[in-house]
Amino acid sequence: MLGVGYATPYLGLFREEAERCLAFMPAAQGVVKWPSARPTLVALVDECELPLPDAAIDRILLVHALELSNDVAALLREVWRVLAAGGRILAVVPNRRGLWARMDTTPFGQGRPYSRSQLTHLLRETWFTPTAWGDALYVPPIDRRWFLRSALAWERTGATMSAPFAGVHLVEATKQVYRAIPVRAKKLVPTLKPVLDPVLAPSPGGAARISSLHAGEAEGALVARMERSVIRGRPLIL
């Protein structure tokens, strides 16, 4: 089990069941020791170069990671690389329509919030397939004890009504081992057709050569007639 971002408050739920449980915090966010009373399981890393071999993790939890990343596509491709075949990711992302993303004083008021369609497009572009969706934090971000007592009622009512103003999206996605490669459309090459039909045209010197050829034939015939007349002793009549 790997947590990326600020996922340590949630990793405690999986620590006893997971064979290994690690937490990677991006360098831009800083690092917090976890667990506090045991040897640390947290590392400060470059989010685009996770220090793990390929296909090493079965489950990855992303909390405060996508909305605060400088290059979210590179982060998700790196998560794809370290995730094992058949592995799953669970991302907690601020909802663009929710009140929690509109107030700077909330934990989800920083970075870039997402709508469900934007998340779907982002995951598919980075070779993941969304398989399950959920929403949470229907309660408004009001820091009053008397109001927080009704938080459970807000959550139940919002989940029953499928209200669009939830604070966060919860999306589970699987790794595409054999991702589709887009087929390029064949480029049509236009066929060149002549506008005018080809016509054989005589060369400029052709007529002169033909005239000279005819003149040579006539001169040869005249010489032959003169020779025959001289032999027979008859006068030549032209």
Q: Kindly report the length of the chain.
A: 238
Three-state SS across the chain? CEEEECCHHHHCCCCCCCCCCEEEEECCCCCCCCCCCCCCCEEEEECCECCCCCCCEEEEEEECCCCCCCCHHHHHHHHHHHEEEEEEEEEEEEECCCCHHHCCCCCCCCCCCECHHHHHHHHHHCCEEEEEEEEECCCCCCCCHHHHCCHHHHHHHHHHHCCCCCCEEEEEEEECCCCCCCCCCCCCCCCCCCCCCCCCCCCCCHHHHHHHHHHHHHHHHHHHHHHHHHHHCCCCCC
User: How confident is the model at residue 236, as a pLDDT?
Assistant: 47
- Residues with Cβ < 8 Å from 153, sequence gap 6 or more? none
- Within 10 angstroms of residue 210's Cβ, the number of other Cβ atoms is 11
For strands 57-63 and 2-5, give the pairing: parallel
User: How confident is the model at residue 188, as a pLDDT?
Assistant: 60
Q: What does the longest C-alpha to C-alpha distance in the chain come to?
A: 152
At 130-162, the pLDDT tens digits run 999 999 999 999 888 888 889 999 999 998 888
Residues 10-16, mean pLDDT to the nearest whole number: 86
Q: CA-to-CA distance for 164 and 48, rounded, in angstroms?
A: 32
Does residue 189 register a pLDDT over 70? no
Contact 66, 72 (CB under 8 A): yes
Sheet holding 22-26, edge to edge: 42-45, 22-26, 2-5, 57-63, 83-94, 168-175, 128-136
User: In which band, very low, low, confident or very high, does the pLDDT at 179 lie, cut at 50, 70 and 90?
Assistant: low
At 191-225, the pLDDT tens digits run 656 555 555 555 555 555 545 545 555 555 555 66
Q: Which two tokens stand for residue 72?
A: 């979210």
Kindly report the pTM of this predicted structure. 0.72
Q: CA-to-CA distance for 78 and 47, rounded, in angstroms?
A: 8
Q: CA-to-CA distance for 127 and 3, rounded, in angstroms?
A: 19
At 94-121, the pLDDT tens digits run 999 999 999 998 999 999 999 999 999 9
- Within 10 angstroms of residue 118's Cβ, the number of other Cβ atoms is 14
Which tops the pLDDT comparison, 11 or 183? 11
At 18-71, the pLDDT tens digits run 888 999 999 888 889 998 888 899 999 999 999 999 999 999 999 999 999 999
Q: CA-to-CA distance for 115 and 100, rounded, in angstroms?
A: 13
